[in-house]
Amino acid sequence: MQSNGADLVADITADNEDITMSRIGKKPVEIVSGAKVAVNGNVIEVEGPKGKLTFEHRDEVTVTVNEDAKEVVVTRDNDERTSRELHGLTRAIVRNMIEGVTKGYEKKLEIVGVGYLAAIKGDVLQLRVGYANELHRKIPSDLQVTCPDQTHIVVQGCDKQSVGQFAAEVRACRTPEPYKGKGVRYQGEYVKIKPGKSATK
């Protein structure tokens, strides 16, 4: 027996209701050993051995701490598109904060090129990457930046966004050029090298 249009609409509606459930947002976030989570209104505070982070979430979602189960639960008030997006996003941010204050985040960069090098003086990262002048980048107070040697840079911190942002800014000082690969790259990053003009003749 063929289903009529009303049945088809009902099936589609049921499918859409399933889609509105956030697979990430509905998962509780485990509070691992060493981390402390507190919620004051819309402000989330997470503290651990690596540091302390705060985040103010939007009104579309609610964050609660279940002390007995040692987990953080993120819920939303409605199924509007913005609420669904913020549901998963807020849960991911909370998870990253807990991981950051307990394990920390790290980005490693390497410098490729003859005469290219890096050094740290005080709270300033100094870069010699082929320009007439030496480049200086002030190190944010919430990050730890070290140079194991003159061609490697290690960025560490508990804030995933800050670590990634500073590493990206350093890489942007001299992005790898496509013919010899000279420049600043993430450690292990693949740089596609183009053949030179002589090779194409």
What's the pLDDT score for residue 12? 39
What's the pLDDT score for residue 24? 80
Which stretches of the chain score pLDDT less than 70? 1-22, 197-201
What's the pLDDT score for residue 190? 92
Q: What angle do CA 166, 53, 68 make, to 5 degrees?
A: 140
71 DSSP β-pair partners: 30, 66
pTM equals 0.82
**143-174 burial code (b ≥16 CB/10 A, e <16):** bebebeeeeebebebbbbebbeebbeebbebb
What's the pLDDT score for residue 146? 97
What's the pLDDT score for residue 198? 62
Q: CA–CA separation, 64 vs 37, rounded Å?
A: 10
What's the pLDDT score for residue 113? 94
What's the pLDDT score for residue 23? 74
What's the pLDDT score for residue 160? 97
